[in-house]
C-alpha cells in the first residue's frame, strides 16, 4: 500500500482573513511522518480545489464546516472510491452518529494522535467505522506540529502593538483540557475536562525550533486557560525572558494578579484575551462562567495598568439576555475601555449543554442549519440563530450592532 496520506481542512468562508493554518492537522501530519508515511496538508479555499492523490484522506470539521464536509465526503467517494476516507474533529466528536449519514468509511472521535498511529500501523482498520481516540496523557511525547508542510505566505498571524505588527507569529498550544463547564462550550468532547500540561522544557524546545527553522519570534498561545497553573506560568515566563520573543494568550480573569502580569509583560507578553462575556452577573451565572463582574473589571484594569494590551470577548444573546443586561455590558466596557475586542452572538453548537436542551435555558433555537452558525462572521457581525425570552432575533441583532459600535468608539481596531 502506498503510504501517502492527505489531511484536509474543508473551506469555511466566514472570516475576513486567514490567520492560521489548520493547527490540529499539523499535529496529525507529524504523527504520520513519525510512522513512516508521507503526509500532505490541504487547506481548501473551495470545494472545487484539486484533490491530490493519496491512499488515505483524513478530514477534520467543526460544526459549521459539517455540511461542507458531507459534500466533500461525497466528492472523495466519487473520485477515490477505493481509498480510505476518515473524518475527525470537533463535530464528529460531539455527534458521532452523524458519521452514518456521510460517505466517509471511518471516523475518529476525541483526540486523534494515538488513534492515527494505530490506524497507520494497520491501514485496513481505517474502514472499521467509529474509532474512539484515547486522550494523550504525556503531551511531551507528541512530536512538534509539521509546520514545514505549510505555505506560510498564505497566513497572517502576527503579534501587534496597536496597529504595528511586532513579529510574524505561529500558534502553539501548551496544554489540553479545561476543568470548567461553560454552557456554550463543547471543547470537552475532544479534550476532556482534565487539564494536561506539556513540560516547560518541551514548550521552550518547540519555541526554539520555530525560531531556528522559520525565523519567527511571535507566538500565539492557544490554550483555553493559559494561566490556570500559576507556578508553571512563572517558570515559562522565566524561560521566555531569555528568548527575545513576543506573545499573546487567552486567560480567565480569576487567574491573574499584578505580580503575574508584570512577569508576563517583562517576558514579552503583548496581549491577553479574556472571555468576560457580559457585564451582568445574572448572565455570567446562567453561562456557568464561575466568575464575577467584579473579577472581570479588576482583571481588565490590572492588565491595562501592567502595560499588556487588553482584548475582551463579549457574547450577546445569551440565556437571560435583556436590554437591561446589554446596558450592564456597555457600562462595564466604558469603565475600562479594551484595546481590542470581539463581539460574538450566542451560538449553541452541537456538543454544548444548550444544543440538546434549549428550553431549560429559556432559549429558542431558530435554525439547526449549521451553515448559518457563525459567532463572529464578516465585519464582526455574527449570525443570530437564537432568541431569548425577552429578546427576539431583531433585538439581538440590534444589541450586537450597538455593542460593536460602542467598542469601535472606545477602541477602534
- Rounded CA gap, 133 and 94, in Å? 13
Contact (CB, 8 A) for 108 and 133: yes
Mean pLDDT of the chain: 94
pLDDT at 412 over 90: no
pLDDT at 15 over 60: no
Place of cell 509539521: 146
pLDDT at 61 over 80: yes
pLDDT grade for 14, boundaries at 50, 70 and 90? low
Place of cell 496581549: 271
pLDDT at 224 over 90: no
Question: For the chain, how big is the Rg over CA atoms in Å?
Answer: 21
| pLDDT score recorded for residue 188 | 76
| Domain spans, the chain | 4-136, 157-410
- Average pLDDT on 129-152 reads 95
Domain 157-410 part of CATH 3.40.50.300:
no
- Rounded CA gap, 119 and 5, in Å? 12
- Rounded CA gap, 51 and 67, in Å? 18
Note the pLDDT tens digit of each residue in 240-285.
999 999 999 999 999 999 999 999 999 999 999 999 999 999 999 9
Note the pLDDT tens digit of each residue in 68-97.
999 999 999 999 999 999 999 999 999 999
Residue 337 CA, chain-centre distance (Å), reads 25
Percentage of residues in the chain having pLDDT higher than 90:
84
pLDDT at 127 over 80: no
> In this structure, which long-range contacts are made by residues 84-88, counting pairs with CB atoms below 8 Å and at least 24 apart in sequence?
84/55, 84/56, 84/57, 84/123, 84/126, 84/127, 85/56, 85/57, 85/59, 86/56, 86/57, 86/58, 86/59, 86/119, 86/126, 87/59, 87/60, 87/61, 88/58, 88/59, 88/60, 88/112, 88/133
Q: Largest alpha-carbon pair distance within the chain? A: 63
**How many residues would you count in the chain?**
413
CATH number of the domain at 4-136, out of 3.40.50.280, 1.10.3470.10, 3.40.50.150, 1.10.4100.10?
A: 3.40.50.280
Nearest to 322 by CA among 294, 359, 280, 358: 280
| pLDDT score recorded for residue 190 | 80
| pLDDT score recorded for residue 378 | 65
pLDDT at 1 over 80: no
In this chain, the answer to whether the domains covering 4-136 and 157-410 adopt an identical fold is no
CB-based contacts of 201: which residues, under 8 Å, 6+ apart?
none
When mean pLDDT is compared across 84-93, 327-336, 372-381, the lowest value belongs to 372-381
Amino acid at each position: 500500500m502506498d503510504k501517502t496520506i492527505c489531511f484536509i481542512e474543508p473551506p469555511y468562508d466566514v472570516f475576513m482573513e486567514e490567520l492560521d493554518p489548520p493547527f490540529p492537522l499539523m499535529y496529525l501530519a507529524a504523527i504520520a511522518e513519525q510512522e513512516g508515511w508521507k503526509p500532505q496538508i490541504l487547506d481548501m479555499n473551495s470545494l472545487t480545489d484539486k484533490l491530490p492523490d493519496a491512499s488515505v484522506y483524513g478530514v477534520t470539521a467543526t460544526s459549521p464546516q459539517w455540511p461542507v464536509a458531507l459534500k466533500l465526503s461525497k466528492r472523495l467517494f466519487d473520485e477515490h472510491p477505493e481509498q480510505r476516507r476518515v473524518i475527525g474533529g470537533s463535530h464528529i466528536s460531539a455527534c458521532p452518529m452523524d458519521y452514518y449519514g456521510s460517505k466517509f468509511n471511518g471516523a475518529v472521535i476525541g483526540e486523534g494522535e494515538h488513534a492515527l498511529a494505530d490506524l497507520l500501523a494497520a491501514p485496513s482498520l481505517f474502514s472499521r467505522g467509529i474509532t474512539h481516540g484515547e486522550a494523550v496523557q504525556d503531551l511531551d511525547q507528541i512530536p512538534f506540529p509539521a509546520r514545514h508542510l505549510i505555505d506560510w505566505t498564505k497566513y497572517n498571524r502576527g503579534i501587534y502593538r496597536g496597529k504595528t505588527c511586532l513579529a510574524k507569529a505561529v500558534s502553539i498550544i501548551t496544554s489540553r483540557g479545561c476543568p470548567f463547564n461553560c454552557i456554550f462550550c463543547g471543547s470537552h468532547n475532544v479534550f476532556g475536562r482534565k487539564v494536561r500540561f506539556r513540560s516547560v522544557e518541551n514548550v521552550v524546545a518547540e519555541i526554539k525550533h520555530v525560531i531556528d527553522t522559520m525565523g519567527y519570534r511571535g507566538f500565539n498561545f492557544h490554550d483555553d486557560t493559559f494561566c490556570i497553573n500559576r507556578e508553571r506560568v512563572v517558570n515559562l515566563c522565566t524561560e521566555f525572558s531569555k528568548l527575545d520573543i513576543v506573545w499573546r494568550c487567552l486567560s480567565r480573569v480569576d487567574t491573574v494578579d499584578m505580580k503575574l502580569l508584570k512577569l508576563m509583560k517583562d517576558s514579552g507578553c503583548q496581549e491577553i484575551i479574556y472571555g468576560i462575556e457580559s457585564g451582568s452577573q445574572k448572565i455570567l451565572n446562567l453561562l456557568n462562567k464561575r466568575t464575577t463582574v467584579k473579577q472581570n473589571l479588576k482583571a481588565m484594569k490590572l492588565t491595562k495598568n501592567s502595560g499588556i494590551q487588553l482584548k475582551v470577548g463579549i457574547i450577546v444573546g445569551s440565556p437571560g439576555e435583556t436590554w437591561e443586561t446589554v446596558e450592564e455590558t456597555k457600562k462595564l466596557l466604558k469603565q475600562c475601555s479594551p484595546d481590542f475586542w470581539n463581539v460574538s452572538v450566542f451560538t449553541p453548537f452541537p456538543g454544548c449543554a444548550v444544543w440538546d436542551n434549549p428550553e431549560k435555558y429559556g432559549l429558542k433555537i431558530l435554525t439547526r442549519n449549521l451553515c448559518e452558525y457563525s459567532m463572529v462572521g464578516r465585519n464582526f457581525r455574527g449570525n443570530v440563530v437564537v432568541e431569548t425570552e425577552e429578546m427576539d432575533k431583531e433585538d439581538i441583532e440590534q444589541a450586537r450592532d450597538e455593542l460593536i459600535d460602542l467598542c469601535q468608539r472606545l477602541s477602534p481596531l
